[in-house]
Amino acid sequence: MKIRESGEMYLEHILSLRRERGVVRAIDVAARCGYSKPSVSRAVSLLRAAGYLTVEENGNLLLTEAGEALAEKVAERHRILSDFLKSIGVPDDLADTDACKIEHVISDETFETLKTFVNKGEVRS
């Protein structure tokens, strides 16, 4: 199931928070993103229904295998795009902001070519 950009962002933030803290709760996501608790609750509900997230009885948010894969994909896109933009002289804060926008709309083929260029200095022909 394809999810919207906002859903991808939530998954990426949950992955990041889990890496930092080990355990993630909805309140952590709200604080990180600056979203209201009801907004996060709605997003969590939609991500659960789509099979990307589970919620333990104690409120901990856990990415499913599909959620983990999608979060990793979005995080990798962000990192590669941000690194590329910074390497061509875009200021760090702007590179991160723009990477966040681009990561959700760039095609897989274009991203893989850019990734090859950034990682190996080669462009796929």
Query: What is the domain-level CATH number for residue 56?
Result: 1.10.10.10
Q: What are phi and psi of 121, to 5 degrees?
A: 75, 20
In the block, which residue shows the tokens 């095609």? 107
Task: Clarify whether residues 14 and 60 are in a common domain.
Answer: yes
Looking at the 3D structure of the chain, how many domains does it have? 2
pLDDT tens for each residue of 7-51: 999 999 999 999 999 999 999 999 988 899 999 999 999 999 999
User: Quick one: pLDDT at residue 2?
Assistant: 61
Task: Clarify whether residues 80 and 59 are in a common domain.
Answer: no
Task: Clarify whether residues 37 and 56 are in a common domain.
Answer: yes
Let me know if residue 60 belongs to a domain: yes
Task: Clarify whether residues 10 and 55 are in a common domain.
Answer: yes
Query: Is the pLDDT at 122 greater than 80, yes or no?
Result: no
Task: Clarify whether residues 36 and 83 are in a common domain.
Answer: no
Among 46, 34, 37, residue whose Cα is nearest residue 5:
46
User: Quick one: pLDDT at residue 1?
Assistant: 54
Let me know if residue 30 belongs to a domain: yes
Q: Check: CB of residue 75 under 8 Å from CB of residue 20.
A: no
pLDDT tens for each residue of 69-109: 999 999 999 999 998 999 889 999 999 999 989 998 999 99
- The parent domain of residue 17 ranges over 5-69
User: Quick one: pLDDT at residue 56?
Assistant: 95
Query: Is the pLDDT at 123 greater than 70, yes or no?
Result: no
Task: Clarify whether residues 11 and 63 are in a common domain.
Answer: yes
Of 4-8, 44-48, 112-116, which one has max mean pLDDT?
44-48
Let me know if residue 125 belongs to a domain: no
pTM: 0.85
Residue 56, C-beta contacts closer than 8 angstroms, at least 6 positions apart: 62
Give 19: exposed, middle or buried? Use CB within 10 Å, 0-12, 13-18, 19+: exposed
